[in-house]
Chain A
Amino acid sequence: MIDLAFLAGVILFLAGAVIPLATISQGNRLTRSIYLGCIISGSIVFSLVSLFVLVNNVPVSIHAWQIFPGVKIGFFIDRLAAFFLFLIGSVSACVALYCAGYVEEMEGGNRRNLFFSGISIFILAMSLIVTSENTFSFLLFWELMAAVSFFLVMYEYNRSETRRAGIFYFVMTQLSTLFVMMGIIILFFATGSFAFAHAPVNQVSAPLLTAAFISLFIGFSIKAGIIPFHKWLPYAHPASPSPVSALMSGVMLKVAVYGLVRFLVTVFTPDLWWGVLILVAGTTSAVLGVIYAIKEDDIKGLLAYSSIENLGIIFVGIGLFVIFSASGLSLLATISLLAALFHSLNHAVFKSLLFLSSGSVVHAVHTRDMEKMGGLAKQMPVTSLLFFIGAAAIAALPPLNGFASELLVYTAFFESVSVINPLLKILLFICLALFALTSALSAACFVKAFGSIFLAKPRSPACEKAHEASLSMLAGPAILAAACGILGVFSYQILTGFGFVLPVPDLLVISIVLLLMGGLVYLGLYFTSSRQTRIGETWGCGAPSLPSSTEYTGHGFSEPIVTIFSSIYRTGKTSTKTYFDQKNCMFAEGTAEIRLVKFFEEYLYLPVARGAYRGAKFIARMQNGCLDTYLMYVFVAVVAILIILGVTA
């Protein structure tokens, strides 16, 4: 019965892909509602299927198509796969709901149909990845997802920055597919099958398994945006339309997390140093991600770097899981893995909420630059509330869901004093301190973001004329915001419901306490304080009605942090001067430049790219288009065969 439901979901998505293509010439609201309805209902069907499996804990196996013996496409949904399927389904449903309003505002005419067809295939591909039964189908759908996402990113291809971002993204995603493929092939050589089954560790297979893990880890890190492979994220997210950013950041990055967790849990028996590697990569991404986020002006760039930070936190959870399970501390391992998975769900929910509501803002103000926004809380009150809930969740404020998952990570760290190895304990303490730093910095980052966009006075004329988003553009984010609240407040109940009794506090109690305290104070003051209010001017040292240019800007807000961490933000200062005289006394003219050194781009990516280019040019000499060379190759090959036959006979 469940297989039929799953099949129904797949068919709905295929319909959502085909209908826009079929109706590409007649674009009216009815056809748009139909195919968006297909996408929404397909996502809801998948969420229901996954909820069914999660609650009943009965795995579902669906066999689709056997290509050759040993190579087949099949689907297997156990609790881990169902969890990620639920994540994909629910977030996609809300994003598609948002698109129902967004599609009316999008430019591009008939290109929109191609776009939504692509979105449908994208969501379908991601769902099929997490439900794959063997590594072959995993790889097949992974490649499909990568290819379709490139087209989605390139939607506004007439802008040069989008083209650059798209090409960069395409190279990185192909690189990630390459490493994943390599890992799967090495795994095939080590175990002899494509199944997701436990690989036995012995003399022969151990180095192969380690190589497979490294390769898979690099592949998944590139896709997840772990430093130093993260550079495509801050280009791809701002350049693509808001629903695509929401889907990519909220859902696609989690598919990479699913891949890593699936391989670690089901296939490998991890060594301790694997966990240390994942933990260090996660901590670095978390710290550097949020530090770069604080410096951003572009709202979507800020959210992109914040995704890097949160993926770092998820990897910290996974790393802790591997370390604890290799050390034999199973309760702590469970807490860490639950923290990582729960944070994936929470991040998917609040990051897509943030991207969608910032999409409404960007659409209303026609710019992505936060320095030109301001005062939108009065003009777009509902959007400001939704963005606020997302910002509060990502800054880990109790009792919302971001705090619930970070609490699990903190609990795992604090209990880690029972680890025996002293070197490991030191590493865990350092990572704990850095984790606390990222949490505090992300709160600062989102105070800046929310304050620059929604508070104070509008900083540009376009901003003064902004209007609230349409109802359907508010409905999707509203559901996500409600989910943030529910997942946070009822987190303890949800975890206990799935059978995990953990030593973490119950956030429902805290929410009730907060409400009670607020209520008591209000009651107390209702009778004792004056209830008169008046509207007046902001204090400007006596100057009347200061303009918006005197407000604190986002740059100014982040300036103390940038100065304190100035050794991480490398600025290059160059100046050229020309003088009138030979002794360089009389200054004629000059230029001075202070620029932020894009560290990873200039020292890692560009040298690698230039090296690849040189290598390619060298090899290209072999194919120079001249017929004589090719005939000579044939001649050399025949002569070589003759000699070899003569020598070996």
Chain B
Amino acid sequence: MKQRPFALKRPFLVICAPAIAVVAILISVTSLHVHPDFTSQAAISAAPVDQGAYRRIRWSELIPAQWDPKDLFKGEDISSWGDADPRALTLQRRMQAAWSKAPVNRALDQRAIRTAGYVVPIEESGDGMSEFLLVPYFGSCIHIPPPPANQIIDVSSPKPVKGVHSMDAVWVSGILSVAQIHHDIGDSAYALRADAVDLYTGPAQ
């Protein structure tokens, strides 16, 4: 008598294997990411924000018109110097001293702005990042020279921002202000109270 019990047959195994693979992939793909917050939320706005209310500014607008960071190099034929030239080292020291006192553009005080830059974390707790520096180029915390004082924005976010990592590119919208600081180290710096911080996805929207 021909048996046809509920027994495993070869074709069944063939179908069974991909099914198990699907289960495996399902579990691993959905749970394997180093920064879980990252993939789950691309937009991390502190609050829904009307983009039109913020004027998109470029980093060059933060520099007052009369201040030229290249003033220092005038009359020096830098291209003829070698890397270890003592003149280069003194010039760099002078440049850093001048750049750390770089003046700010007071016309931007109390303006609602929107700009993109890289994140250098300052204050972080379990809830997320509540304060960071926004800088115009990647690697500012390790490369020399550091950006001039007027190319650094001290961003504080009333609602901690999750999913932002050191040196991520972000869009920041908020009120820019010129903070008065100790006169020895230049008189002012930019601070920004962020209404929204979003991971950078592309050029101006």
**A-B interaction:** no
